Structure 1
Amino acid sequence: MTKLLTLLTLTVLITLLEGCQQKAPVPLPTVEHVDLERYSGLWHEIARYENRFEEGCVGATATYRLKADHVAVVNRCYDDAGRLKDQARGEARVVEASGNAKLRVSFFWPFYGDYWIIMLADDYRYAVVGDPQRKYLWILARDTVLDDRDREAILARLVALKYDPFKLYWTGFKAMCNH
Structure 2
Amino acid sequence: MKRLLIGLGAALFLAGCASSGIDSLAPKTVGHVDLKRYQGTWYEQARLPMFFQRNCAQSEAHYSLKPEGDVAVLNRCRTAEGKWEEAKGTATPQVEGKTDKLWVEFDNWVSTVLPGVTKGDYWVLYLGDDYSTALVGNPDRRYLWLLSRKPQVDQQTRDELLSKAQQQGYDTTRLIWRTPDSKMPKGTK
Aligned counterpart for 1:160 among listed residues 160, 167, 176? 167
Matched, 1:146 2:150: no
Root mean square deviation, CA, Å: 2.4
When Rg is computed on C-alpha atoms for both structures, the one with the higher figure is 1
The superposition leaves residues 118-146 of structure 1 with CA deviations (integer Å, 9 ceiling, x where unpaired) of 01111111111000000000011110112
Matched, 1:48 2:55: no
In 1, the alpha carbon distance for the partners of 2:51 and 2:98 equals: 29
| Aligned 8 A contact 2:135 2:165 in 1 | no
Matched, 1:72 2:72: yes
What is the DSSP-based 3-state SS (H/G/I as helix, E as strand, rest coil) of the residue aligned with 2:161?
A: helix
In 1, the alpha carbon distance for the partners of 2:93 and 2:142 equals: 20
TM-score by length of 2: 0.76
Cα drift, residue 163 of structure 1:
0.3
The superposition leaves residues 13-54 of structure 1 with CA deviations (integer Å, 9 ceiling, x where unpaired) of xxxxxxxx9x95722100121110111011111100111111
| Aligned 8 A contact 1:33 1:98 in 2 | no
After superposition, where does 1:82-161 map in structure 2 within 5 Å? 82-84=82-84, 86-96=85-95, 99-107=98-106, 108=111, 109-110=115-116, 111-161=118-168
Which structure 1 residue ranges, 4+ long, deviate > 6 Å from structure 2?
none
In 1, the alpha carbon distance for the partners of 2:63 and 2:180 equals: 20
Which residue in the other structure is 2:9 paired with? Answer: none
What is the DSSP-based 3-state SS (H/G/I as helix, E as strand, rest coil) of the residue aligned with 1:58?
A: strand
In 1, the alpha carbon distance for the partners of 2:91 and 2:59 equals: 18
The superposition leaves residues 81-108 of structure 1 with CA deviations (integer Å, 9 ceiling, x where unpaired) of 4331x11000000122674111000013
In 1, the alpha carbon distance for the partners of 2:95 and 2:34 equals: 14
Q: 1:126 is matched by which residue type in structure 2?
A: T
- Unpaired runs of 5+ residues, structure 1, are 1-20
Which residue in the other structure is 1:3 paired with? Answer: none
Aligned residues: 159
Which residue in the other structure is 1:36 paired with? Answer: 35
Which residue in the other structure is 2:6 paired with? Answer: none
What is the DSSP-based 3-state SS (H/G/I as helix, E as strand, rest coil) of the residue aligned with 2:135?
A: strand
TM-score by length of 1: 0.80
Q: 2:150 is matched by which residue type in structure 1?
A: D
Give the % identical residues. Answer: 37
